[in-house]
Amino acid sequence: MINAEHYVNRELSWLEFNQRVLDEAADASVPLLERLRFLAITSSNLDEFFMVRMGSLRTAIRRNETGVDPSGMTVSNQLDAAAKRIQQMMDVQYRIYLEQLEPALAQIGIRRRHVTELSEAQSEFVEQLFDEQITAILTPIAVHDPDNFPLLLGRTTNVAVQLAPLSEGDDYRYAVIPFGRSDLRFISLPAESGKEFILGEDVIALLVQRFFPGEEIVSTVPFRITRNADLSVREEDGTDLLAEMEDVLDERKDSFCVRLEISDLVTAPMLVFLKQLFKLRNRDIYVVPGPSGLGDLMRLSDLSGFESHTYPKWHACAAPGIDPGQSIFDAIRSNDQLLYHPYESFEPVVRLVKEAAVDPDVVAIKQTLYRTSRNSPIVEALKTAAENGKNVTVIVELKARFDEARNIEWAKQLELAGVQVIYGVRGLKTHAKACVVVRREPQGFQRYCHFGTGNYNEATAGIYTDISYMTCSEELGNDVISWFNATTGYSQLQQFDQLNSAPIGLREKLMELINFEAERCRNHSDGAITAKFNSLVDPQIIDALYKASQAGVKIRLNIRGICCLKPGIPGLSENIEVISIIDRFLEHARIFHFRHGGDDQVLISSADMMPRNLDRRIELLIPILDDECRRKAINILKTCMKDNSKARVIRADGGFNAPKMSADTGFRSQQEFQRQAKETEKNASEAMRRMFVPLEPN
């Protein structure tokens, strides 16, 4: 039985996470363009929230689902509560942008011009651009029959035009000018200094009459729609998964609308028209006092020439245990390597696959791919390896949400290169991050493993905090080979010596470790759990933590996003502390430390504590076997828990308290990790300078 009073609703908890991101946009101590970036991130986050979570709730309403979530809320309750909280958040977003960021941007030379503010030269430029480019690119579409209206892409700008009736007593007429994927949102203007721009929708409003000569324009208004993206693939026996995924991508383009963002200049008839056109309820409509789609402002945060208003560029430090002139295989064979990105470089992970691709002694590579970069060097290396005659097997997860199209393309390219490609596993997402290289050596076949908490993506490795564990442990090597064979074949996941995998084994291992700490406390000993991950939703894990807290286990959690657990409640969770760190880099690592009677158990994982990860995905839980690597992982957890500058303390009501101390006097974990990485790199460099290496004849 689930006690609803013990849980926070997951949707509302996620919205509080997004509020923590938004708070960074309001923080005057954060560089201006970084504040703009955080604002854009909150808007993009809301886009995805509507596409996935609100879309899922709307689908449940359509199916007449009547159940409640663990917090006791019905689907309708959740939709109403989320819509109310989002409206509050969007009000704050626009106050921050219009009252703080836009004036501050103008002061540093990034100015948005309204149509009434254009100089004579700028007006001439805009008119010429309109006549030569905009009218050629954009096409007005008359709306005669709302049920047969052409498709409008989600998350793109459109301008609705209200035309006067043809004769007295007739209704207003309407047309829509869609921007589609055109690059007309931000139009650069000639300026004597700095960067000046005007929004494309403002240009349309100024010169719209040229699209409709001889017509009386009543009003124009920009708007933006968001469509449901919570569509699942049908995975019956015999299904062509790649073809099914391509169908899902097509279905997303015309799925039902879950949100309309529209300017507060909208007239009442226009609003009624758009509401009927997209079949929306009042709670799905968000009237905004500024430009819709604030996520598009991300482009301005990357403008060149304004670097003094961003965080200083961070260059990842070299991994201390890996000599750039040394073979990656020698480095891993000498010592296990635990890297903390982006403070330490992701390059050794790329090197592992690149060296394996051309090493004549490498006979096989097995790897998972969930999200990769556009020009992935790892994918290129895997193709090279196959072309060089190595046995290469890659699990490409086609169902990685919003990366499906890219993964479909990579899968096709890998197959053409001779790679054995597996499109994930029927009914499950393969979210685990693992690579194993099998190399022929004098003592026999050696397995070189990489396990990660993040994707094989060198771009996101520069902005996400993630763990890489590189080892040639015989136990882990044998386990991961067995795991790959079970995942790519028809065999069932089995008991491994060291690894644990979802959906069978990972939850059970975590419950065993939590219960061990609780049992020690019940037997008058001590117990402690410190962990870092992205989301805590799973009721079984939450209940186990509650029981451990009641037994006296000291539990400290660093949870970036959703937290459905209620910390600090007497008699339930008074021994549980939860913080959430929002800073320059996206906290993404999953690390678990169980005191285990002094025999520290430290594990990393690809999984968050959510039912989908534990029950409906293939995930890995990996023990850190090397003592030095274990100490480093524990230090990461301790450093994060000391943060009192960017860490928010999560409350039992699902909200959060501001950082304990100001940024001036507080301890900021991400800055400390940068300092530690630089110091370690410097010490390693000095040690190398003091070491004389004789050159021997061949």
Residues identified as active-site: 431
Q: Determine the 3-state secondary structure of 605 from DSSP.
A: strand
User: Cβ contacts of residue 288 below 8 Å, gap of 6+?
Assistant: 90, 94, 261, 262, 263, 264
Q: 628 in helix, strand or coil? A: helix
Please give the Cα distance from 48 to 51 (Å, whole number). Answer: 5
- How many helical (H) and strand (E) elements, i.e. helices and strands, does the chain have? 21, 27
E strands, 512-562, are 528-533, 554-559
Separation CA 227–CA 669 (nearest Å): 38
| Paired residues of 389 in beta bridges | none
As a whole number of angstroms, the distance between CA 647 and CA 356 comes to 41
Query: Residue 656 belongs to what H/E stretch?
Result: strand 656-657
Q: Tell me how far apart the alpha carbons of residues 147 and 160 are, in angstroms, rounded to a whole number.
A: 17
Q: CA nearest 606: which of 376, 378, 429?
A: 429
Q: Smallest Cα–Cα separation from 266: which of 171, 153, 174?
A: 174
Query: What is each CA distance from 421 to 368, 412, 425, 692, in whole angstroms?
Result: 10, 9, 12, 47
Query: Which DSSP letter does residue 460 get?
Result: G
Q: What are phi and psi of 661, to 5 degrees?
A: -135, 165
Which alpha helices (DSSP H) does 96-137 contain, by range? 102-108, 120-129, 135-137
Pairing of strands 554-559, 576-581: parallel
DSSP 8-state code for residue 538: -
Q: How far apart are CA 3 and CA 464, in angstroms?
A: 35
Output the six-digit token pair for 588: 């993404």
- The DSSP-derived string for 245-286 is HHHHHHHHHTSPEEEEEEETT--HHHHHHHHHHTT--GGGEE
Neighbours of 98 (CB within 10 A): 13
Neighbour order of strands in the sheet with 257-263: 141-142, 173-178, 157-163, 217-227, 257-263, 285-288
Look-up: residue for tokens 């498709």?
151
Q: Provide CB contacts within 8 A for 606, sequence distance 6+.
A: 431, 432, 433, 452, 453, 590, 619, 620
